[in-house]
Amino acid sequence: MGRATARRVVTRVRAGVATAVRPDTVVGEEPLEIRVGGRALAVTMRTPGDDMDLALGFLLGEGLIGSAADVTSIRYCVGRDDEVGRDGAVDADGRPTYNVLDVALAPGVAPPEVDLARNFYTTSSCGLCGKASIDAVRLRSRFTVADDPLRLDAATVTGLPDALRAAQRLFATTGGLHAAALAGADGVLRAAREDVGRHNAVDKVIGAAARDGLVPLAGQVLVVSGRASFELVQKALMAGVPMLVAVSAPSTLAVDLAEEAGMTLAGFVRGDSMNLYTGAHRVTLA
């Protein structure tokens, strides 16, 4: 399978002088094609690992499924697959790359409509690209978060980024990954995932929760290591998460969607401070 990290030789330079030539650990980045019923749906650039959770979280975040019960199997396409009828990706030596997944939907679950307006291509930097319009991504969640009774004190919220950073095992060796985690009102992380793409990290952690039968994620907080984009708020909403905590800034559309949905959105959560953009009633202040 693909590797989450790799070793590369680098030249260390300080003050314009080469001080050392040594190996360095670099984060892995490889394409993953997600198929549904043998038909290509999406390609994302991701860090290998937790691929099936990523696929499950992606389908949930796009409103294509409502829970893990809507999926009967997820498997790698490794070479010729008679059932799918297409080849899985192989490297130059003919070995499977494990970069193609096929998802089988449960009976009665409508397959996605694959057309030019509904094809997905994602990158590690910008997330989902190529949708026809903003209306195409303003999906209606199957879950309502506005009435979620979640309440946290301010100190618990500001402690979440440090808890997330402590859970970033691969970041400690590469310095090149985003992370996402789920936490309860007590501030204890229930699960954390890392990926070169922040959207993939969110898909992985939500997919893991869905696989454990925990969706909708009522009473949970989604914590992300970077900024809060529209897409991340959408993913949280589609999983029934009532609060999103981001280390960096939100976008205008992220704030608008959170406000519309009744979600709490906290940005610039650093040290002992934060900005509450929406849903401030869920954070207990002195």
Cα separation, 212 vs 201, whole angstroms: 17
**126 belongs to the catalytic site:** yes
- DSSP 8-state secondary structure symbol assigned to residue 62: T
- DSSP 8-state secondary structure symbol assigned to residue 179: E
The catalytic residue among 1, 126, 172, 188 is 126
Full strand arrangement of the beta sheet holding 189-195: 189-195, 178-183, 221-224, 243-246, 264-270, 273-278
Q: Are 112 and 103 contacting, i.e. CB atoms less than 8 angstroms apart?
A: no
* Residues ≥6 apart with Cβ < 8 Å to 103: 34, 35, 36, 37, 55, 56, 59, 71, 73, 74
Active site residues per annotation: 126
